[in-house]
Structure 1
Amino acid sequence: MSLPHALLTSLVERPASGLDLARRFDSSIGFFWAASHQQIYRELARMEAAGWIRSEEGEGRGGRKVHHVLPEGVVELRRWVALGGEVPPARDALLVRLRADAALGPLALADQLHHRRALHEARLAAYEVIAERDFGGEPDRQARIQRVILEAGIITERAWAQWCQDAIEALADADPTPERPGTSSP
């Protein structure tokens, strides 16, 4: 996935200023595609140069530019959606640290795992609040799709929190390891 396609999707939903887009990323899209405010503004300029969006001066204080998707942007978004995609490989330093613990012996990773579990549990709680707040009643198609996206986050965070607990227990149960490759006995 790429940032321009996340931005195009957000702008198809509703034209917005760069600040409004950054706020959307902070509160919703950012749960599954993170971008800094600076990255968003840089990408908006590239998208305008590519003819995917146009900007016009907004009303009110500050005269923020409001960005609108052009037909070429819709064509690009449809092209990108049609490509599909592969499951990205995990890139997580904690997994490498655990592998190092397995290879070298105990490396005191329990605190990192407890912290990670707490982060996943906090994000899970936030997602559950959103689900309760935003998805009651009879949803239309758009709301059902947004709920499915949120459900992916709920499932993911629940699984990661459980995985952290399992890893904590595996570290606690580990017997001191005999000599490892690359180490020498005294």
Structure 2
Amino acid sequence: MALRNALLAALADRESSGYDLAKRFRGSVANFWTATPQQLYRELEKMEAEGLLSARLIKQDKRPDKRLFSVTEAGRAALLGFSRRSPKPTTVRDELLIQVEALAHGDVASVHASIREHREASRARLHGYEQRLAEILGERTDEEFLATGNRLGPYLTLQRGISFERENIAWADLALGVLARRFPDDSRYA
């Protein structure tokens, strides 16, 4: 159900194609909800069949025709109902943390490599979120945007994603530092 609500929220302001939604999910929505393009397309089809979305076909030359999805009144009612309920508390499900938890029983070099890979992925996501935030702000400061901007939801979710990735990077730096101090003679941890 959460993917459904994420799609309704993403389409609430403007119609979009499945392709554009998939790009948007990678660029901004991914900081709080992930889905593969295949999952998005399947859910869009289901939502259209249930009357939560409508689609119109756009004929294109030299490209396949595309469908633009928009939220129906039933979809807006469903999104409103979702926004009125209390969300479930956030829980962490992170395979890297399982590897770290089992560090004494595993391959320290592999865990070290995993932490470094995750840190680099967090840096890349952070860069993307910061770029998206700069696009939303335009020439305005944060204070000016907060006083006059109309896209507060994306602003706030991007701020959450930025905070999350900064914390992931800080934790990875801490963990890598601990490994370097614990195994000072091993050049893999320097």
TM range (shorter): 0.7 to 0.9
Cα drift, residue 83 of structure 1 = 1.4
- Name the SS of the counterpart of 1:56 in structure 2: strand
Q: How many angstroms apart in 1 are the aligned matches of 2:134 and 2:10? A: 23
1:16 matched residue in structure 2: 16
2:178 matched residue in structure 1: 170
Cα drift, residue 174 of structure 1 = 3.5
TM (normalized to structure 2)? 0.80
Long gaps (5+) in structure 1: 176-186
Q: How many angstroms apart in 1 are the aligned matches of 2:106 and 2:32? A: 34
Q: How many angstroms apart in 2 are the aligned matches of 1:152 and 1:68? A: 26
Percent pairwise identity: 32
RMSD of aligned residue pairs (Cα, Å) = 2.1
CA deviation map 1:155-175 (0-9, x unaligned): 111111010111112223338
Q: Note if 1:58 corresponds to 2:58.
A: yes
Q: How many angstroms apart in 2 are the aligned matches of 1:81 and 1:50? A: 19
2:44 matched residue in structure 1: 44
Q: How many angstroms apart in 1 are the aligned matches of 2:126 and 2:77? A: 35
Higher-Rg structure is 1
TM (normalized to structure 1)? 0.82
Cα gap change, 1:128 to 1:66, in 2 (>3 Å): closer
- Name the SS of the counterpart of 1:89 in structure 2: coil
Long gaps (5+) in structure 2: 184-190
Q: Note if 1:107 corresponds to 2:115.
A: no
Cα gap change, 1:72 to 1:144, in 2 (>3 Å): closer
- Name the SS of the counterpart of 1:51 in structure 2: coil
Q: How many angstroms apart in 2 are the aligned matches of 1:106 and 1:45? A: 44
Cα gap change, 1:154 to 1:110, in 2 (>3 Å): same
- Name the SS of the counterpart of 1:160 in structure 2: helix
Q: How many angstroms apart in 1 are the aligned matches of 2:37 and 2:94? A: 24
Q: How many angstroms apart in 2 are the aligned matches of 1:24 and 1:129? A: 13
Q: How many angstroms apart in 2 are the aligned matches of 1:38 and 1:26? A: 13
Name the aligned partner's letter for residue 181 of structure 2: D
Q: Note if 1:145 corresponds to 2:146.
A: no
